[in-house]
Structure 1
Amino acid sequence: MKLSCLQENLSKGLQTIMYSVPAKSSLPILSNVLIATENGRIKLSSTNLETAITTYVGASVEEEGSTTIPARLLKDFISNLPAGTINMQVKDEILAINSKTTKSKFNGSSAKDFPELPSFPKKSQVLEIDATTLNNAVNIVAFAAGTDTSRPVFTGIYFNYSKGKLTITSTDGFRLSEKILNMKGNVDDFSVVIPAKTIVEVAKIFVASQEPISFVLNQDENLALFKSEDTLIATRILDGQYPDYKKIIPSEHVVKAIFNSPEFTEAVRLTDIFAKESNNTIKIRFDPEGKIKITSLSEETGQHESNLNAEIEGELVEIAFNSKYLLDFLNNIKSEKINFASNGNVSPCVFTTEDQKDFIHIVMPMQI
C-alpha cells in the first residue's frame, strides 16, 4: 500500500472511528484500526464487536493494500503532526509515515486477522433522518437512559416507528424522556432498542452532515445501521421487551404550573448543594397563590430555601424530588419556560417546554 493524503483529513477520520476502539480487549487486534484502500480512498474501520465504524478519507493512491495499526497510537501521532501532506507506505506490516519534517514507522498486524465488518444493506427500507433533528432529539432523551447493565434494555434508547412518526424514548425506571419526530418515507412499522451511548455517538459524529442520515435495520444480523456522507456506523440491537411506559403517563392533574426555566434551574442548583447528604432529596411546594418554594430536607449541613414566582392552577401540592434528576433535565433542555403538571405527591410528574413540540419528560417523586 502506498498513498498520500492531508494530515487534517486523516486526523478527522481517525477521531471518527475511535468510539468503537475498546479501551481493553482480550483480542489485541480490536485495539487496532483497519487501514485499507478502496476506490481511490483510505478506508478506516474499527470495532469492539458490538459497534463498528467505517469512514473514508480522500487520498492519492499509488498502490492498493491494507494493514492494521494500534488505533490510539496512530490517532495521537497524526493529530500532533502539522497540517499538510503526509505520505504512507506499508511493507511487511510496517507502516511508514513521512511528513515534511518527520519520518516514522509503526508496527502493524495483518488485515486478515481483523473481524469481518458489517456493510450497508443494498435492498432495505431506509428511514432518512435530518442530522440536526436527530442530534437535538438525542440530547433531550439520552440522559434519562439507565446505566445498570443488569437491566440492559434500560441502557438503550427505544425507537418506535409507526404511521409516519418516529418516537424516541429512554428511561431508567425513575424518569423518562420521549420525543416524537414526524417522518417522511415508505417504511414498515418497527420497534428496536439501541444502546444509548452508541446513539449519542451517532448523533455527535453526524451532527455536521449536510446529507440526511440513512437508518436501516438488519434483523437477520440483529443490527441497526446509520450512514451519512462517508461514514457508516453499525451497532447491535439490545434484546428484551421495552416496558409499556405509556400507561404511567398521567391523564389527569391536580396542579399545573408554568415557570421561568433559568430561575427554576438556579433555585434547584442552590438547594442541591444542601441536599447531597440526604440522597439529593429536595422538596418543592407549588402554591396556587403563584409561588414555588424549594427547600432542602437535610439539616446536617444547614438549611436552604429558594422562592420564585410562577403561574399555578389547582391545589397546593408539596412533592419531593431527586435534585440530580431535575438538574439532568434542566441542563439538557434549552427553554425559557417550563410547563409542569402533577396528580399529587406520589404520582409521576410531567414536564414539557414551549420550545420543544412533541416532547415530554417524566420524573417519579421520592417518598419521604
Structure 2
Amino acid sequence: MRLEVDLALLAHGVRTVRPALRDAADGWNVIVMRAAGDALELSATGRSMSITRDITATVTEEGSVTVPARILGDLLARGSSPLATLGSDGLNLEVGLGDLEAKLRLIDDTPPPPIRVVSAESTPASLSALEVERAGAVAVASSGDLQRPVLAGVHLGPTMAEATDTYRVARTILTTWDLDLVVPADLVRLVAAERSDVTVSFDGRVIAFRTHDASWTTPVIATAFPAIPHFAIPTNETLTCDRHGIITAVESAAVLPGALIELRSTGGDLVVSSENLEVGRIESKVPQVGATAVEALFTARYLLDALKLATTEQITFQFAERHVVIRCGSFTQLIMRRVTTQ
C-alpha cells in the first residue's frame, strides 16, 4: 500500500473512527486502512460499534494494513506538513509528515470483523441533517447507566425522537422516519456531529447509518421503549421568557457549588437564584409574561441542558406539581422538580 493524502483529512478521519474502540477487545485497539482507487478507507470495530470513513487520496499502490489506533492518532497530531505519505513494506507502515518520519509495526493477526447489516433482510430509512441534529440533541437526557441499556439509548419512533433517564425527558419531532427502535445515545451523538443527511439500513438486529463518506453500525438496544405518557399541560401556571436572558441567569446562579436553582415568578419578572449558606446567594431577574405565583427548585445541570436545546428566541415553561414542561421550538422537555429545600 502506498499513497499520499491530506494530513488534516487523515487526522480527522482517525479521530472520528476511534470512538468505536471505546469497548474494543483486549489487544484490538486498532484501525484498518484500505487503499483502493482514489480513496483511503479507515475502519475501527469494538464490541458494540463499527465506524468507517472514506478519504480522498492519491493511491499509487493498493492494499490494506492494520495499525495501533492510539499511536497513529498521536503521531498524526504532531505532523506539520499539509500532506502525509503512507507506505507499507509488509512489516511496517512508513509515515511521512514532512520533517517527521516514522515506522509503525503492522498488526499481523486478523482484526475483529466489522459489524454489518444483512442487506437482503434490511429495511431502508432516512433522516435529514436537521432531524439527525435534533436526535443528537435529545440524547442529553439519556442515562449514562449501562446497567439500564434502554435508558442509555435514544428512541427513534415514527413521529419523534426521545430519551429519558427517569428524571427528565427530551423529545423532538421526526417527519421522515418510519422505524421504531432504540439506538445507543453515543452513536446518535456521533452521527449528529456530521450535520449531514443520512440513509439507514436495519435488518431487525443491526442498524447502519451512512453519509456520503462515513458509516456507523451497531446492534440496536431494543425495538421497544418504555411508554411515556403525553406531557401534562397545566393552564394556570405557564410563563414565557427570553431564551438568552434565562440561560444567562441560570449560568450565573450555577456558579455556586452544589446549589439548586430556584425559579420564582413575581408577575413582571422571573427571579432566578441559588444559595449556598457557606458562600452566599446569586439572584437575577428575567422579564416574563404569564404565571404570577410559581416557585420551583431544579438541579442546575438538568435545567441548563434543557434550556440550551432551545431553537427559538422564546422559551415557555409549564409548571405542574412534580415537574415542569419546557417548550422551545421543535423540542419539548420534562424535568422533575426538586422537592427539597435548602
**TM-score of the two chains, using structure 2 as the length reference:** 0.89
Q: Displacement of 1:327 after TM fit?
A: 1.4
Q: 1:159 to 1:4 in 2, by over 3 A?
A: same
Q: Are the counterparts in 1 of residues 241 and 316 from structure 2 also a CA contact under 8 Å?
A: yes
Indicate the residue corresponding to 1:67 in structure 2: 65
| 2:13 equivalent to 1:13 | yes
Q: Displacement of 1:177 after TM fit?
A: 0.7
| 2:182 equivalent to 1:193 | yes
SS in 1 for 2:93: strand
Q: Displacement of 1:298 after TM fit?
A: 4.3
Give 1:254's match in structure 2, choosing from 236, 251, 254.
Answer: 236
Please tell me the residue identity of whatever aligns with 2:89: K
Structure 2 distance, partners of 1:292, 1:272, is: 16
Structure 2 distance, partners of 1:36, 1:295, is: 56
SS in 1 for 2:254: helix
Indicate the residue corresponding to 1:126 in structure 2: 124
Indicate the residue corresponding to 2:327 in structure 1: 352
| 2:336 equivalent to 1:364 | yes
Please tell me the residue identity of whatever aligns with 2:168: R
Q: Are the counterparts in 1 of residues 45 and 115 from structure 2 also a CA contact under 8 Å?
A: no
SS in 1 for 2:333: strand
Please tell me the residue identity of whatever aligns with 1:217: F
Aligned residues: 339
Q: Are the counterparts in 2 of residues 88 and 96 from structure 1 also a CA contact under 8 Å?
A: yes
Structure 2 distance, partners of 1:316, 1:197, is: 40
SS in 1 for 2:53: strand
Q: Are the counterparts in 2 of residues 347 and 365 from structure 1 also a CA contact under 8 Å?
A: yes
Please tell me the residue identity of whatever aligns with 2:217: A
Per-residue CA deviations over 1:161-204 (Å, capped at 9, x if unaligned) read 2xxx3x111111111110012227xxxx4321111122111111
Per-residue CA deviations over 1:63-100 (Å, capped at 9, x if unaligned) read 33222111121122234323444432222331122355
Give 2:75's match in structure 1, choosing from 72, 77, 82.
Answer: 77
Please tell me the residue identity of whatever aligns with 1:82: S
| 2:144 equivalent to 1:151 | no
Q: Are the counterparts in 2 of residues 218 and 225 from structure 1 also a CA contact under 8 Å?
A: no
Indicate the residue corresponding to 1:92 in structure 2: 90
Q: Are the counterparts in 2 of residues 42 and 58 from structure 1 also a CA contact under 8 Å?
A: yes
Structure 1 distance, partners of 2:182, 2:17, is: 22
Unmatched runs of 5 consecutive residues or more in structure 1: none
| 2:208 equivalent to 1:215 | no
Q: 1:301 to 1:65 in 2, by over 3 A?
A: same
Q: Displacement of 1:333 after TM fit?
A: 2.5
Give RMSD over aligned pairs. Answer: 2.5
The range that moved more, 12-21 or 265-274, is 265-274
SS in 1 for 2:298: strand
Q: Are the counterparts in 1 of residues 181 and 224 from structure 2 also a CA contact under 8 Å?
A: no
Structure 2 distance, partners of 1:296, 1:103, is: 55
Indicate the residue corresponding to 2:162 in structure 1: 169
Q: 1:16-27 alignment to 2 at 5 Å?
A: 16-22=16-22, 25-27=24-26
SS in 2 for 1:59: strand
Q: 1:254 to 1:90 in 2, by over 3 A?
A: same
The range that moved more, 230-239 or 32-41, is 32-41
Structure 2 distance, partners of 1:216, 1:26, is: 26
Per-residue CA deviations over 1:317-340 (Å, capped at 9, x if unaligned) read 322222221112223325321111
| 2:154 equivalent to 1:182 | no
SS in 2 for 1:27: coil
Q: Are the counterparts in 1 of residues 201 and 207 from structure 2 also a CA contact under 8 Å?
A: yes
Per-residue CA deviations over 1:210-267 (Å, capped at 9, x if unaligned) read xx21022122xx22211011211112211484221124x1143331111122222232
Q: 1:304-343 alignment to 2 at 5 Å?
A: 304-313=282-291, 316-343=293-320
Indicate the residue corresponding to 2:27 in structure 1: 28
**What is the percentage of aligned positions where both structures have the same residue?**
22
Structure 1 distance, partners of 2:9, 2:100, is: 18
Structure 2 distance, partners of 1:75, 1:34, is: 13
Indicate the residue corresponding to 1:282 in structure 2: 261
Q: Are the counterparts in 2 of residues 250 and 348 from structure 1 also a CA contact under 8 Å?
A: no
Q: Displacement of 1:130 after TM fit?
A: 2.0
Q: 1:87 to 1:304 in 2, by over 3 A?
A: closer
Q: Displacement of 1:121 after TM fit?
A: 5.1
